[in-house]
Amino acid sequence: MVQISEVKDTQGKESRTAAHTHIKGLGLDEHGVAKRVEGGFVGQAVAREACGIIVDLIKSKKMSGKAILLAGAPGTGKTALALAISQELGPKVPFCPIVGSELYSAEVKKTAALMENFRKAIGLRIKETKEVYEGEIIELTPEEAENPLGGYGKTISHVIVGLKTAKGTKNLRLDPSIYESIQKERVAVGDVIYIEANTGSVKRVGRSDAYATEFDLEAEEYVPLPKGEVHKKKEIIQDVTLHDLDVANARPQGGQDVLSMMGQLLKPRKTEITDKLRSEVNKVVSKYIDQGVAELIPGVLFIDEVNMLDIECFTYLNRALESTIAPIVVLASNRGMTVVRGSDDDKKSPHGCPPDLIDRLLIVRTLPYNQEEIKIIISKRATLEGLRISHDALDKLASHGSTNSLRYALQLLAPAGILSKTAGRTEILSEDIEECEVLFLDSRSSTKILEQQSGYL
Q: What is the DSSP string of 173-231?
A: EE-HHHHHHHHHTT--TTEEEEEETTT--EEEEEEEGGGTTS-SS--PPEEPPPPS-SE
Q: Is the pLDDT of residue 262 over 50?
A: no
The helix or strand, by DSSP H or E, that contains position 153, with its residue range, turns out to be: none
Residue type, 365: R
pLDDT for 259 equals 47
* Residue boundaries of the structural domains of the chain: 37-121+299-366, 127-238, 240-275, 371-453
CATH superfamily placement of domain 37-121+299-366: P-loop containing nucleotide triphosphate hydrolases (3.40.50.300)
- If we measure between CA atoms, which residue out of 48, 133, 111, 112 comes closest to residue 85? 48
Those residues whose C-beta lies under 8 Å from the C-beta of residue 149, and which sit 6 or more positions away, are none
Average pLDDT over residues 158-170: 87
User: Given pLDDT bands bounded at 50, 70 and 90, which one contains residue 288?
Assistant: confident
Report CA 363 to chain centroid distance, whole Å.
24
* pLDDT the model gives residue 332: 92
CATH architecture designation of domain 371-453: Orthogonal Bundle (1.10)
* pLDDT score recorded for residue 173: 86
Please report the pLDDT score of residue 356 as a whole number: 85
Pairing of strands 95-99, 122-146: unpaired
Segment 101-156, tens digit of pLDDT: 888 876 778 888 888 888 898 888 888 778 888 888 888 888 887 766 655 666 77
**Half-sphere exposure in the Cβ direction for 165 (13 Å, CA):** 17
Amino acid at 258: V
Helices and strands per DSSP (H, E), number in the chain: 15, 19
Q: Give the whole-angstrom CA distance, residue 438 versus residue 443.
A: 13
Can you list the positions of beta strands (E) in 319-429? 328-333, 337-339, 348-350, 361-366, 388-389, 427-428
Q: Which amino acid is at 62?
A: K
Give yes or no for residue 12 having a pLDDT over 80.
Answer: no
Whether residue 47 has pLDDT greater than 80: yes
Torsion angle in degrees (nearest 10) through CA of 351, 355, 357, 363: 50
The burial class, CB within 10 Å (0-12 / 13-18 / 19+), for 226 is buried
Distance CA 317, CA 311 (A): 10
Q: What is the mean pLDDT of residues 417-428?
A: 90
Residue type, 187: V
Element (H, E) at 16: none
- For the chain, give the mean pLDDT: 81
- Do the beta carbons of residue 294 and residue 312 sit within 8 Å? no
Q: Which numeric CATH code is attached to 127-238?
A: 2.40.50.360
CA angle 77, 41, 52 (to 5 degrees): 85
Average pLDDT over residues 285-314: 87
CA-based R_g, the chain, Å:
30
